Copies of this chain bind each other. A is one copy, B any other.
Amino acid sequence: MIDEQYLVKLIKHLKEADKQQFQRLIAELQPYDIARLYEELPEKHRSRFILLLDPEQIADLLEELERDEQYGVLVKLGVEKSGQVMDLMDNDDLALLLEGLSPGRIEELLAGMKQEESQIVQSIMNYPPETAGRIMTNRFVWIPESYTVSETVAKMKSFAVFSETINYLYVIDGDKRLTGVVSYRDLILAEPHEQIRDIMFSRVISVHAETDQEDAAMLIERYDFLALPVVEENDRLVGIITVDDIIDVVIREATEDIEKLSASGKSIDFDTKAFVAAYRRLPWLILLLFIGLVSGSIISSFEETISKVVALAFFMPMIAGMTGNTGTQSLAVVVRGLISRDVDRELAAKLILRELAVGIIIGVTCGILISVIAYIWQGNGFLGLVVGGSLIITLIIGTLAGTIVPLVLYKLNIDPAVASGPLITTLNDIISLFVYFGIATAFISKLM
């Protein structure tokens, strides 16, 4: 979209403070592109850039910027103009922006806003993080049941500019309770004098404001909705969640799963500074370092066995690695499956039995394979049997650990992905070393 030539032209207009030419250039860009443009602009041109934008455009721009850049814009705007712009922002995006600021700074910024708008933002920020309430917007159109189609169209016309999405109109009764939904299509297909009550779909699906955002995402995904109404006690309608926010939730949650499975640390992206990234990864690594030392002390307790048959050490990384990998495989299946399915006792039992069967099949296949290889390599049939037998047992245990641990965590309402890949891997390392050297020690006389 944006090339060098475009940037040169834009900077020229900025230097000349030619608002008309500047606006003509900007006019047909999407907010996302304006944000990328702003980020590419040298710092010295940025203030002028902001100055030549209308408040609505700045609000759109803010919604598409990274947090640090957002703060930079607010500083450039000053408190008063910040307030004006913030009034125009979607309140869920605004709540997200304010989240990272100090209480004093939040108060200062909210003071510059219209009281009505600032109250809405504050009420959103009162919901727990990652709930439906946090990602909802109040920019939507609601209509009373008693309206006719033509009254509704009139109301829509006057509110269309303010509302974020007007694909569905939510219908409320006298107590502000959500009682139905009407789509634009319904309105267009209906006769002007018909009452909303008679054309609305009344089995409307909604979420409570404190529902987890992942559950809200699941509903939108299942039912292919474009928006989902959010209610408080007594079905009182307080906002809507739009599908674009849900896509962001889905991407964020998947990224979190990957971060946890790989223990790669929270929110590290391409722009994270090295120190911050290292700081976020270190806790996991240090924990794993100590767990790794546990493996070491297991090996040290079998020192005598190893010194008698050094060849046992050759198969150690293979057995530990395979057990770790098979555990990670099971873990990934469970963690990912839990996203779209609720697991009850019955399904959990079925899953554990399935993975047990998988473990046996995999274990026997790999066990026989390695027995033959070990025999050929070391010319010791008994060594082959010990290595192969150990692998069968450890692969079965590894598969089960990778299945049962996340299921137990899920049952305890702990995010199963915290049983992250490396943790399961390391746990399986330890188990496999015990099994392997335990069996080897038992048969040590035959091995020598």
Query: Which residue numbers of A lie inside 8 Å of B, CB to CB?
Result: 28-32, 153, 156-157, 160-161, 166-167, 184-185, 188-189, 201-203, 205, 220-226, 243-244, 246-248, 250-251, 254-255, 257-259, 261-265, 268-270, 272-275, 277-278, 281-282, 284-286, 288-289, 292-293, 295-297, 299-300, 303, 306-307, 310-311, 313-322, 324-326, 328-333, 335-337, 339-341, 343, 347, 350-351, 354-355, 357-358, 361-362, 365-366, 369-370, 373, 377, 421-422, 425-426, 429, 433
State the Cβ distance, A140 to closest chain B Cβ, in Å: 13
The copy count of this chain in the complex is 2
Cα A429 to Cα B335 in complex, Å, equals 26
Inter-chain contact B167/A341, CB cutoff 8 Å: no
Cα A422 to Cα B422 in complex, Å, equals 10
Inter-chain contact B262/A248, CB cutoff 8 Å: no
Q: Name A262's contact: one of B247, B370, B421 (CB within 8 Å).
A: B421
State the Cβ distance, A222 to closest chain B Cβ, in Å: 5
Closest to A247 in B: B221
Inter-chain contact B317/A264, CB cutoff 8 Å: no
State the main secondary structure of chain A at its contact with B. helix
Inter-chain contact A314/B285, CB cutoff 8 Å: no
Inter-chain contact A243/B263, CB cutoff 8 Å: no
| Given the contacts A184-B166, A285-B322, A223 and B299 also touching, CB distance less than 8 Å | no
| Given the contacts A166-B184, A188-B156, A28 and B333 also touching, CB distance less than 8 Å | no
- Chain B residues lying within 8 Å of A264, measured Cβ to Cβ, are 328-333
**Which of the listed residues A246, A297, A313, A350 has the most CB atoms from chain B within 10 Å of its own CB?**
A313
- Chain B residues lying within 8 Å of A296, measured Cβ to Cβ, are 314-318
Inter-chain contact B289/A369, CB cutoff 8 Å: yes
**Which of the listed residues A32, A296, A299, A316 has the most CB atoms from chain B within 10 Å of its own CB?**
A296
Inter-chain contact A362/B184, CB cutoff 8 Å: no
Inter-chain contact A313/B318, CB cutoff 8 Å: no
Inter-chain contact B32/A222, CB cutoff 8 Å: yes
| Given the contacts A188-B153, A205-B30, A329-B264, A251 and B339 also touching, CB distance less than 8 Å | yes
Known: A258-B261, A285-B322. 17 other contacts (CB 8 A): A184-B184, A221-B244, A221-B251, A246-B247, A247-B247, A254-B257, A258-B332, A258-B335, A275-B361, A284-B329, A292-B317, A295-B317, A295-B321, A296-B314, A297-B314, A316-B316, A317-B320
Cα A289 to Cα B109 in complex, Å, equals 59
- Chain B residues lying within 8 Å of A189, measured Cβ to Cβ, are 157, 160-161
State the Cβ distance, A38 to closest chain B Cβ, in Å: 15
Closest to A186 in B: B160
Inter-chain contact B299/A357, CB cutoff 8 Å: no
- Chain B residues lying within 8 Å of A322, measured Cβ to Cβ, are 285, 288-289, 292
**Can you offer 11 A-B residue contacts whose CB atoms are under 8 A?**
A161-B189, A224-B244, A243-B247, A251-B254, A254-B257, A275-B361, A278-B358, A278-B362, A281-B326, A292-B317, A295-B318
Inter-chain contact A274/B373, CB cutoff 8 Å: no
**Which of the listed residues A281, A303, A341, A355 has the most CB atoms from chain B within 10 Å of its own CB?**
A281
Q: Name A286's contact: one of B225, B284, B307, B369 (CB within 8 Å).
A: B369
Q: Name A274's contact: one of B247, B324, B343, B357 (CB within 8 Å).
A: B357
- Chain B residues lying within 8 Å of A335, measured Cβ to Cβ, are 258
Cα A84 to Cα B182 in complex, Å, equals 29
Q: Name A354's contact: one of B166, B274, B285, B314 (CB within 8 Å).
A: B274
- Chain B residues lying within 8 Å of A426, measured Cβ to Cβ, are 321
Cα A278 to Cα B337 in complex, Å, equals 17
State the Cβ distance, A62 to closest chain B Cβ, in Å: 14
